[in-house]
Chains A and B, each alone.
Chain A
């Protein structure tokens, strides 16, 4: 009659089942994000995020699909405070997220996505995983970014601060065992082991990216937004992958000038377009500041192609000049379906150099393929 019972308190610290499956779930979330990078990459909430660390990304395919009732067409039970009557409104669409199993759009039938949070860094990592700066060539004067010490040997003498504790203890144990008195006790001077190092100079090739954008009146909000999201990721990519990368921003309409990064993305100008102006400026800058013998040079130009026709021939000539001094020249043309077909792109068809990469972007989802075209990893 005492009733059989036990109360225990085990050590659960190694029980990681939930965390492990949670990790698998997060892997799947990442997979899903990757599959949808093209859509996600130009999400306005990200491009305009002002470096917010965590962003919400809508992804598909992580619901646990099953045959279930349509929640919206079901009758549900509820309980009033004693005075409810037919016709009482107890909620409306927006404010009614709490009625399903849980919160969030994913729990509402018919809404076929799931919002997850990722950090900008994680997202950048996924996007850049297989991107590289192409045609990185050894230039005459490599910039040595730093020398870094590399510990690569263990010796019996050295600086006290560099004692290798693990190996020292191993020596003690070994010596004690040989002496027939195993165990860790009595560390003697002869047991001490020291780590030693060697200076390894790290060479880094240096590169400069010349970001050029058409900010003329014919570039509307849509065009600017596309260019902006492209450069957003380009800047991020360059700054995460390489340290010795400089980037200059050149904005142009009929005249070109160097601007700050912020101005580059936020300011618009009015007037016509002469792309030759910005190529001219780029060439001048290369001559003054970025000797092609020292730098890998990557000019990228975004435009809607609405160039002064009389300027086109000059553009081709200048692009060819630029190609002589740079690794790759990217031209991205943003095609607005409401505009007539562009003149600049057809003009550029004449350029046969493989280092000239022209891309047309029609909508947001093509920013990602454009990035990949510019920064494609070379097959070695």
Chain B
């Protein structure tokens, strides 16, 4: 115990110093709660995304995988940080002091990001509590309706959990209904001698009026046979996904920002040589590039550093055309961290020089090999942006909730050049059927042809999209 207390005291001193430095740099974070915990616990939080969340076997599967990789020394989470106020950060027990320092500096920047990035503005900062309430409610449902029953339902809800609308305010503009001419007492006079106007056809009320991206919301509100507890489960899963969504959308930025700052903060510390070396090693392992994936820590920090450089020392042209006086680097990156998400961050700030310097490329499958197919910087940038659109998930919308006038559900995949995983699609359809209670259809594109997949409660089928478009 004595040993632990001493360790805590040392850590407390370090945190105080690091917080001081971070404040001087202008980072603006929530009050911090650091908790030191063993690897098992960190990996549990990692699997669930949160210390308290409802029970489901998929979390157990994730936990097991992460834990095994840790046990075999394949990967190591050093920390976990929660978007909450106060901000909870969990540090891995047994980290060395310098590792903890790096992690503390890193999570302060995450906390600053959560607090100040526009996309996080609407996230609940009390989600820690909400999720444990959700967990309790779901446990009660298990008790009341049976564990198996709840599990089967959760399996179905989780299968479409990414299909929400994180920005409900940017719905499509409603189609302007043609304004009826105002009635006047003289209408009969004006219309004398004209044939009677045909009464306008009553437009069929379409549900949804606009394509609806929020599958969970649509099913929750329109499915006919769901019990109250089932609607409640959908609402809870949806609320949790809405909370996690901005993190899915800002992976590169968030990690880049945290990496940028842990470097700057640790540099300010007066480290003994051994620690400095250990820091360098650990930092290098965080930003190690990969031939087969984009390392968000590395790409993120590179872009932030590049922005800072370009706004500190603008070119002649930039000074003239964009009226950049120079010396604005720091201010600029703070503004960027407040406004952008990964899509706009890459689109606006990934430059030709950076793509070439980092030797970024796109690769794809050719026969049995994976081959570099794109080096053109704009195409590479576009490819990276595409991979980040909608958090990397395909975009699927409800087009018709009363398809064939039989209350069937017609979904449409907004195809943008990448096909869906068809075996997965066919296994997901029964889940959607379970939620909707009637046949479910999904339109997508397979090998260039519009194709409709259907599941009628017994089997999957597919057919070409009817000429003239669907739904009929």
A interface list, Cβ under 8 A from B: 1-10, 12, 15, 17-28, 62-93, 96, 98-99, 102, 109-110, 112
Which of B8, B86, B159, B365 has the largest count of A CB atoms less than 10 A from its CB? B365
How many angstroms from the CA of A206 to the CA of B345 in the assembled complex? 78
A64 touches B393 (CB 8 A): no
Within the complex, what minimum Cβ distance (angstroms) separates A380 from chain B? 29
How many angstroms from the CA of A9 to the CA of B93 in the assembled complex? 9
B48 touches A17 (CB 8 A): yes
A6 — which chain B residues lie within 8 A by C-beta?
32-34
B64 touches A7 (CB 8 A): no
Within the complex, what minimum Cβ distance (angstroms) separates A217 from chain B? 42
How many angstroms from the CA of A206 to the CA of B111 in the assembled complex? 72
**Which 3 A-B residue pairings sit nearest by Cβ, starting from the closest?**
A21-B60, A18-B44, A22-B60
Within the complex, what minimum Cβ distance (angstroms) separates B92 from chain A? 12
Question: Which residues 108-133 of B have a CB within 8 angstroms of A?
Answer: none
A110 — which chain B residues lie within 8 A by C-beta?
421-423
Tell yes or no: B407 within 8 A of A by CB.
no
Task: Indicate which residue in A26, A77, A88 contacts B371 across the interface (CB closer than 8 Å).
Answer: A88
B423 touches A98 (CB 8 A): no
Within the complex, what minimum Cβ distance (angstroms) separates A87 from chain B? 6
B59 — which chain A residues lie within 8 A by C-beta?
18, 21
* 12 sampled A-B residue pairs with Cβ under 8 A: A7-B34, A28-B57, A65-B424, A68-B393, A77-B380, A78-B363, A79-B358, A79-B359, A79-B361, A84-B361, A86-B374, A109-B423
Task: Indicate which residue in A21, A73, A99 contacts B63 across the interface (CB closer than 8 Å).
Answer: A21
A-B CB pair tally, cutoff 8 Å: 245
CB-CB nearest in chain B for A110: B423
Within the complex, what minimum Cβ distance (angstroms) separates B261 from chain A? 15
B418 touches A74 (CB 8 A): yes
A87 — which chain B residues lie within 8 A by C-beta?
371-372
Within the complex, what minimum Cβ distance (angstroms) separates B120 from chain A? 20
Within the complex, what minimum Cβ distance (angstroms) separates B259 from chain A? 16
Within the complex, what minimum Cβ distance (angstroms) separates B156 from chain A? 10
A19 — which chain B residues lie within 8 A by C-beta?
40, 60, 63
Task: Indicate which residue in B11, B67, B160 contacts A7 across the interface (CB closer than 8 Å).
Answer: B11
Task: Indicate which residue in B65, B360, B393, B421 contacts A78 across the interface (CB closer than 8 Å).
Answer: B360
How many angstroms from the CA of A69 to the CA of B36 in the assembled complex? 38
B23 touches A3 (CB 8 A): yes
B393 touches A79 (CB 8 A): no
How many angstroms from the CA of A64 to the CA of B59 in the assembled complex? 11
B63 — which chain A residues lie within 8 A by C-beta?
18-19, 21-22
B360 touches A79 (CB 8 A): yes
B359 touches A70 (CB 8 A): no
Tell yes or no: B373 within 8 A of A by CB.
yes
A109 touches B67 (CB 8 A): no
Tell yes or no: B427 within 8 A of A by CB.
yes
B292 touches A98 (CB 8 A): yes
Contact A86:B373 (CB < 8 A) given known A7-B34, A24-B60, A77-B362: yes
| A-contact 0/1 string along B18-61, CB 8 Å cutoff | 01100100000001111111101101100110000001111111
B interface list, Cβ under 8 A from A: 4, 8, 11-12, 15-16, 19-20, 23, 31-38, 40-41, 43-44, 47-48, 55-61, 63-65, 67, 69, 86, 93, 158-163, 289-295, 298, 358-365, 368-375, 380, 383-384, 386-387, 393-394, 396, 413, 418-425, 427-428, 431, 442
A75 — which chain B residues lie within 8 A by C-beta?
362-364, 373-374, 383, 386-387, 418
A91 touches B41 (CB 8 A): no
Task: Indicate which residue in A66, A72, A77, A88 contacts B159 across the interface (CB closer than 8 Å).
Answer: A66
B31 touches A5 (CB 8 A): yes
CB-CB nearest in chain A for B368: A93
How many angstroms from the CA of A78 to the CA of B355 in the assembled complex? 11
A77 — which chain B residues lie within 8 A by C-beta?
293-294, 360-362, 380, 383-384, 387
Task: Indicate which residue in B19, B47, B289, B421 contacts A3 across the interface (CB closer than 8 Å).
Answer: B19
How many angstroms from the CA of A77 to the CA of B370 in the assembled complex? 12
B370 touches A68 (CB 8 A): no
How many angstroms from the CA of A7 to the CA of B104 in the assembled complex? 11
A67 — which chain B residues lie within 8 A by C-beta?
160, 163, 393-394, 396, 413, 420, 424-425, 428, 442
How many angstroms from the CA of A66 to the CA of B392 in the assembled complex? 13
B93 — which chain A residues lie within 8 A by C-beta?
9
Task: Indicate which residue in A20, A71, A81 contacts B60 across the interface (CB closer than 8 Å).
Answer: A20
Within the complex, what minimum Cβ distance (angstroms) separates A75 from chain B? 5
A70 touches B295 (CB 8 A): no
Task: Indicate which residue in B370, B386, B421, B423 contacts A89 across the interface (CB closer than 8 Å).
Answer: B370
Contact A91:B65 (CB < 8 A) given known A80-B291, A86-B374: no
B61 touches A7 (CB 8 A): no
B293 touches A5 (CB 8 A): no
Within the complex, what minimum Cβ distance (angstroms) separates A110 from chain B? 6
How many angstroms from the CA of A71 to the CA of B370 in the assembled complex? 12
Known: A65-B427, A78-B363. 6 other contacts (CB 8 A): A9-B35, A19-B40, A28-B57, A77-B362, A79-B290, A89-B370
Contact A84:B375 (CB < 8 A) given known A65-B424, A102-B65: yes
A65 — which chain B residues lie within 8 A by C-beta?
159, 424, 427-428, 431
How many angstroms from the CA of A85 to the CA of B374 in the assembled complex? 8
CB-CB nearest in chain B for A99: B292
A22 — which chain B residues lie within 8 A by C-beta?
60-61, 63-64
Contact A20:B291 (CB < 8 A) given known A7-B8, A7-B34, A8-B35: no
B23 — which chain A residues lie within 8 A by C-beta?
1, 3
B362 touches A17 (CB 8 A): no
A66 touches B424 (CB 8 A): yes
B394 touches A68 (CB 8 A): yes
A8 touches B34 (CB 8 A): yes
Within the complex, what minimum Cβ distance (angstroms) separates A330 from chain B? 37
How many angstroms from the CA of A19 to the CA of B19 in the assembled complex? 35
A15 touches B421 (CB 8 A): no
Contact A64:B58 (CB < 8 A) given known A7-B12, A9-B8: yes
A89 — which chain B residues lie within 8 A by C-beta?
369-372
Within the complex, what minimum Cβ distance (angstroms) separates B302 from chain A? 10
B292 — which chain A residues lie within 8 A by C-beta?
76, 78, 90-91, 96, 98-99
B160 — which chain A residues lie within 8 A by C-beta?
66-67
Task: Indicate which residue in A63, A70, A79, A82 contacts B291 across the interface (CB closer than 8 Å).
Answer: A79
Within the complex, what minimum Cβ distance (angstroms) separates A356 from chain B? 41
A2 — which chain B residues lie within 8 A by C-beta?
16
How many angstroms from the CA of A27 to the CA of B41 in the assembled complex? 22
CB-CB nearest in chain A for B366: A89
CB-CB nearest in chain B for A104: B65
B372 touches A86 (CB 8 A): yes
B358 — which chain A residues lie within 8 A by C-beta?
79
B4 — which chain A residues lie within 8 A by C-beta?
9
Contact A84:B365 (CB < 8 A) given known A67-B424, A79-B290: no
CB-CB nearest in chain B for A93: B368
B34 touches A69 (CB 8 A): no
A68 touches B294 (CB 8 A): no
B394 — which chain A residues lie within 8 A by C-beta?
67-69
A71 touches B375 (CB 8 A): no
